[in-house]
Amino acid sequence: MILGKKVVVTGLGSISSLGRDTHGFWRSLIAGKSGISRLRGFSPQDFKTSVGAQIHDFNPEEYFPAVEIPLLDRYTQFALVAAREALEDSGLGQAEIRDGAVVIGTGCGGKETDERSYQALYKEKKRRLHPLTIPRGMPSSAASQVSMVCGVTGPVFALSSACASANHAVIQAAILIRSGLVEVAVAGGTDAPFTYGLLKAWEALRVLSQDTCRPFSSDRSGLVLGEGAGMVVLESEIHARRRSAHVYCELAGFGMTADAGHITDPSADGAARAMSVALTDAHMNPGEIDYINAHGTGTLANDVTETRAIRLALGNRAGAVAISSTKSMHGHALGASGALELIATILAIQHGIVPATMNFTAPGAGCDLDYTPNLPRTMKVQAALSNSFAFGGLNAVVAVRSC
């Protein structure tokens, strides 16, 4: 357990297939709107899957000066859009954020830049690449660009733990605040995986759905890739109260574990330990949890394993907790998913509405909990968990509660 300053959330920012900002994201979630549609920009005959949760008609020139765009991979553009919104939402001035931190997770980094480079070298037989190829495509580019736009001169770094990247980033930022190294931080995740090579790589894993994402359902057929970014502004409670900031909730605790088992086959024990550690760190017991935003990918392995993990961690309380997978609407945005789902969890507390697990048909074997099927639920949410479990057996769980 890490002792220190209490950490609160004061700003939210997002961009996803459900909306270009957090208001649009939340409105779509509670309406049960799907961001999953037919893939654009690719020939249908090239892929076995034909669906994705893309951000359609995104024009960088609407957000950035033309002179800056050559330095910004699509995943960095998303990070900047979400970070700007989160900072504006927090009400922090540049002087207040200057000594803070930026921690951003990504599962893929600048794949758009990588693939453009490979195409130029190997297909078009070019001998030279753009001089900004490295700073555009490096995994830390998004964190660096956010720090420059926001004027942050404190700790700034990127991390990558596949689909747990965003939760790990938020946790690391919270540790910086708890320890007293900084008072404020911008943290979250971003990814833009819709490139030809990356789609073919995911296709080879044989985990992509052919139609849509149906978490926990008997006829679930796999995950649907998504893209976007989610960012939160974290502050020490003392700092936030001093400036009379609007506080969404307390980031009360977190748990991080590794399965140390199989690279793709998840462990219920590892995931359960992460949830239990988060509860212990937050000084909460299972009876206090009202809602869990599940990792809920819609794959055969994840959903039954996560269900077992929730039962292991919450015991008799498991059946009474509302659970949902918002990936059923915004897809699996990889390194950004945890941040989008944390924002959904925070807004469930704020508004007293739990988003649904859409596309639910009938419960799958071993999936025997309350998954909030197809309709959002109005209920009081005092405390919640947001789960992220990644390939490699990397687990990161965040516990939040109302203030």
Which residues are part of the catalytic machinery?
A: 163, 295, 332
Q: Closest Cα partner for 183 from 172, 171, 174?
A: 174
Q: At a CB cut-off of 8 Å and minimum separation 6, what does 117 contact?
A: 129, 133, 137
Burial of 336 (0-12, 13-18, 19+ CB in 10 A): buried
Contact 256, 284 (CB under 8 A): no
Q: What are the angstrom distances between the C-alpha of 340 and each of 45, 81, 288? A: 31, 14, 23
Dihedral sign, Cα of residue 386, residue 401, residue 340, residue 327: positive
The encoded tokens of residue 79 equal 């990070």
